[in-house]
Amino acid sequence: MRQIDPEILAQKIKEGDRYALSKAITLAESNRLDDLTLAHQIISLLPISKNSKRVAITGIPGVGKSTFIESLGKYILSKGEKVAILAIDPSSSLSKGSILGDKTRMEDLSREDNAYIRPSASNGSLGGVTSRTYEAILLCEAAGFENILIETVGVGQSETLVNEISDLFLFLQLPGSGDDLQGIKRGIMEMADLIFVNKADSFQEKLVKDAKLDIVRSLQFLPTKGSQWKRKSIIGAGLIGKGIPELWEMVDEYFTFIKANEYYSANREKQQLKQAERYTIDLVNQQYLKALKEQPIELKKETSAFEMAKNWLDNHTIQITTK
C-alpha cells in the first residue's frame, strides 16, 4: 500500500482538491486505528473555520429530503457560495451494506464544481449520522465549503448526535403527517431551530395551512433553546423551489443572531469537548473489543450475562494505548 504523506494531502485539501478531500474522509471513516490517526494528523494541519454554517436536515421517511436538499444546494450556489452535502444512508444490520444513492438522487447538483456530495453509510449509528461525520465536516470546511448540509438517515427518533455537531437543526415536515404532540415527545421539535413544511404543492391548501398552524401552536409549549433563538416555520415545496429563498433568509438571520450573542463560538467549543469525550470512549472500546477477541468470555450456564461480564473485567487488565 502506498504511504500517504499527511502534509501533502492537507495542502491539496486546502487547494480544493476533491480527490484529496475524499481520500481524507475515507481515512476518517475507517475502523482501523492507524487510518483514523492519520486522518487526524491531516486535520491538525488544516485551518479551522470560524464562519461556516453547519445545517443538519432531518425528517420522516418520504418527506423529500434529497429533493429538498438539491433545491437548497442549487439556491446556495446561485448566491455565489460553495456547498458540501454529507448524506447519510441507513445500513443493513445484517449485511452492513448501504445503497449510498444520494449522488444519483441529486444528479444536477453533483455536476456542479462548487458542490461536493459525500454519501456515507450510517453503520448502525443511532445518532442519525455516522460516527465520523464530525471529521468530514472539518475536512469539507478546510477545503473551502462554507455551507455544510448534513442529511440524516431520517428515522425521526435518534438525531441527538447530529444536533451536537451542527449549528442549526432543520426539521422537514409533511402536511397531515400526524399529531404534532407526538413530534414533541420524540424530541425532534425540541431540537429544531427551523421547520419547513414540504410538498405544499402536493396537498390541499387547507391541509397545508392547518399543518402550519398546528406547528405554530405546538412550538409555544417547547422550552427555549440555549441559543435563545425563537423557532420559526415556513411552508414550501422543495421540488419546485417554493419557499427556498425565504428559508435561506431565515438561516442567515439565525446565524447573525447566534454570532451576535456569542452562542455560535460557545457552542462550537462545547461540541469540540463533547467530541473529545466520544473519542475517549471510542478508543477505550476498541481496546476492550480487541481483548475480547483475543480472550473471549467463557459461557457459564448458571451465571447471568451481567455476572459473566463483571467476572471477565475483574480478571483482565487492559492497557489503554493509542499506539
pLDDT tens across 59-89, in order? 877 888 889 999 999 999 999 999 999 987 6
Supply the range of the domain harboring residue 282. 270-314
State how many domains the chain has: 3
pLDDT tens across 14-52, in order? 999 999 999 999 999 887 888 888 999 999 999 999 899
Report how far residue 120's alpha carbon sits from residue 267's, in angstroms, rounded to the nearest whole number: 25
Residue 320 lies in a domain: no
pLDDT tens across 152-171, in order? 865 544 566 777 889 999 99
Torsion over CA: 112, 114, 120, 126 (sign)? negative
Residues 159 and 257 in one domain: yes
Lowest mean pLDDT among 87-96, 118-127, 244-253, 276-285: 87-96
Residues 97 and 158 in one domain: yes
Residues 234 and 96 in one domain: yes
Residues 22 and 104 in one domain: no
SS3 call for 232:
strand
Residues 140 and 20 in one domain: no
Residues 305 and 230 in one domain: no
Residues 154 and 42 in one domain: no
Residues 142 and 87 in one domain: yes
Residue 322 lies in a domain: no
Residues 109 and 253 in one domain: yes
| CATH number for the domain that contains residue 78 | 3.40.50.300
| CATH number for the domain that contains residue 33 | 1.20.5
Return the C-alpha cell found at 248. 435561506
Residues 250 and 291 in one domain: no
